[in-house]
């Protein structure tokens, strides 16, 4: 499969090159030239197959010819053997008073109890495979609003050919999220806290990639969802969930707590590949740029306000660029100018045609901090289940935006114990902590505090990685 940049000025690459490149040299994001199609017979078969087999079948076209299907299958099996649930991504019913059946898609049974594990456990192995094949090494740089960092670190720790530098916004992630990163003692892992927001961290990462000399010298690679492999891997659980609930024939709606837009974009990609999807529901907290865009047609940056769902405290959703690229019939020239203007003045007005296309498949809603607290309490009271605040955002929005008759699959993106204080404040009961989380509090933390300055970050990367 061949890949092109959303901004149209970067070389067309195969998967192995896209994997290691992450961000395109023109600042764009890679997309397949064409998406593979999955027919109804295959979809019906998926309903009865284990997660690993579905993953291999769905992902094989994306990685060919860089990686053969047997090698992919081996890496898939190894990646999901690390998960704590035999189904990898189990689906449970959530009682609903509305017309639609509600279901919780439990994406948090990986090593770090986050949905990011689903893609990153595989991504770490894909990196290692490609680096061994090329006999080279990379410096992975990433930004995290909480869960990407720990999942990437767990996936890349002690792997040959990889040095990893992870930036996080100081004081804006949960204590468990921080400790999952900063207590990893592996010599190839380097944690940095930035005085700023996740958007600041993400901008610093993109700026390093934009410096062609630094990028080449340090052989930079990305694990954020700017890396296409992340998005591709996430499409799999839309196929397993959709076919489980709809048998490959009936449509399913998905409600997704949304920050950087990678998770819900994977649902859009799955729909374009043939999965019957009714609606994709963007669930925002009060940092609601995507919901405001859906309502008004104007994407406009506002101040990031900290919340109890920090992975969603974002105003610049990188993967929205991929969606705009596809919805605009892949008009790279328009998109390049539009994104440059957006970063310059903080506004991007969408045409009537674009906003109509967006609304044809996406709904959007927001949940306040009070909504989150009340939803966590309500779900616990009704079912005895705990849900984390990101999941609560999605449950709250799904309950208010029911449409049609399709079942609604609500993406549960983090284990409630990662946000134990928030959950306890809402329910009066502390969720049980897995032993792996309890152990974090007895470990020594290691992290470097740096200012929100590109030169300081680049100097740290150079000195820490010795690439």
Q: Is residue 116 flagged as an active site residue?
A: yes
Out of 116, 206, 418, 438, pick the active-site residue: 116
Domain 91-111+229-431 of CATH type 3.40.50.1100: yes
Of 446, 423, 443, the residue nearest 433 (C-alpha):
423
Six-digit token pair at 265?
């974009």
Q: Given this model, what pLDDT does residue 404 score?
A: 67
Burial of 125 (0-12, 13-18, 19+ CB in 10 A): buried
Locate 220 and state its tokens.
């930079």
Pairing of strands 91-94, 102-106: antiparallel
- Going by the DSSP 8-state scheme, the letter that residue 38 receives in this structure is -
Phi-psi region of 309 (alpha: psi -120 to 50; beta: other; left: phi over 0): beta
Cα dihedral: 23, 29, 30, 34 (round 10): 180
How many CA atoms within 13 Å lie on the side-chain side of 109?
17
Q: Residue 405 CA to chain centroid, in angstroms? A: 28
Give this prediction's pTM: 0.93
- Residues contacting residue 93 through CB under 8 Å, at least 6 positions apart: 101, 102, 103, 104
pLDDT means per 10 residues in the chain (467 residues)?
97 97 93 97 96 98 97 98 97 83 96 95 95 94 88 93 95 92 96 94 92 93 91 98 94 94 97 97 96 96 93 91 97 96 94 96 97 97 96 96 83 95 97 94 96 96 81
Structure tokens at 408: 């609604």
Q: Give the closest residue to 188 by CA, choosing from 153, 148, 147.
A: 153
pLDDT at 467: 47
Domain assignments of the chain as residue spans, ordered by start = 91-111+229-431
């Amino acid at each position: 499969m061949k890949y092109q940049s959303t901004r149209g000025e970067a070389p067309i690459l195969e998967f192995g090159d896209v994997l290691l490149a992450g961000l395109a040299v023109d600042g764009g994001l890679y997309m397949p030239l064409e998406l593979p199609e999955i027919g109804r017979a295959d979809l019906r078969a998926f309903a009865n197959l284990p997660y690993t087999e579905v993953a291999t079948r769905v992902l094989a076209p994306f990685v060919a010819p860089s990686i053969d299907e047997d090698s992919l299958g081996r890496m898939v099996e190894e990646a999901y053997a690390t998960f704590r649930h035999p189904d990898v991504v189990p689906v449970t019913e959530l009682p609903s008073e509305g017309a639609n059946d509600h279901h919780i898609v439990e994406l948090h049974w990986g090593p770090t109890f986050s949905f990011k594990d689903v893609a990153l456990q595989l991504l770490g192995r894909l990196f290692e495979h490609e680096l061994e094949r090329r006999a080279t090494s990379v410096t992975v740089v990433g930004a995290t609003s909480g869960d990407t960092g720990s999942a990437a670190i767990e996936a890349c720790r002690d792997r040959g050919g990889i040095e990893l530098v992870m930036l996080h916004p100081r004081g804006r992630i949960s204590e468990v999220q921080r400790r999952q990163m900063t207590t990893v003692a592996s010599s190839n892992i380097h944690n940095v806290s930035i005085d700023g927001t996740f958007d600041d961290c993400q901008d610093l990462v993109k700026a390093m990639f934009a410096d062609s000399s630094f990028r080449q010298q340090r052989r930079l690679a990305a694990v954020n969802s700017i890396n296409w492999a992340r998005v591709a891997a996430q499409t799999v659980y839309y196929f397993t969930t959709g076919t489980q609930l709809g048998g490959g024939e009936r449509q399913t709606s998905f409600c997704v707590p949304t920050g950087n837009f990678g998770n819900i974009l994977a649902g859009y990609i799955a729909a374009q590949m043939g999965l019957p999807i009714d609606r994709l529901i963007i669930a925002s907290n009060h940092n609601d740029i995507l919901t405001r865009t859906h309502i008004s047609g104007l994407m406009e940056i506002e101040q990031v306000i900290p919340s109890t769902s920090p992975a969603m405290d974002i105003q610049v959703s990188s993967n929205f660029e991929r969606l705009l690229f596809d919805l605009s019939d892949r008009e790279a020239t328009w998109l390049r100018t539009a994104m440059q203007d957006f970063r310059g003045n903080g506004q991007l007005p969408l045409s009537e045609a674009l906003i109509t296309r967006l609304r044809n498949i996406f709904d959007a809603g927001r949940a306040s901090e009070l909504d989150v607290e009340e939803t966590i309490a309500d779900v616990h009271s009704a079912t005895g289940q705990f849900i984390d605040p990101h999941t609560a955002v999605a449950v709250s929005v799904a309950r208010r935006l029911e449409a049609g008759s399709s079942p609604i699959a609500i993406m549960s993106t983090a284990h409630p114990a990662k946000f134990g204080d928030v959950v306890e404040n809402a329910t009066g009961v502390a969720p049980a902590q897995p032993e792996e989380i309890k152990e974090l509090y007895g470990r020594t933390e290691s992290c470097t505090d740096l200012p929100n300055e590109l030169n300081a970050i680049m100097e740290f990367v150079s000195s820490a990685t010795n690439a």
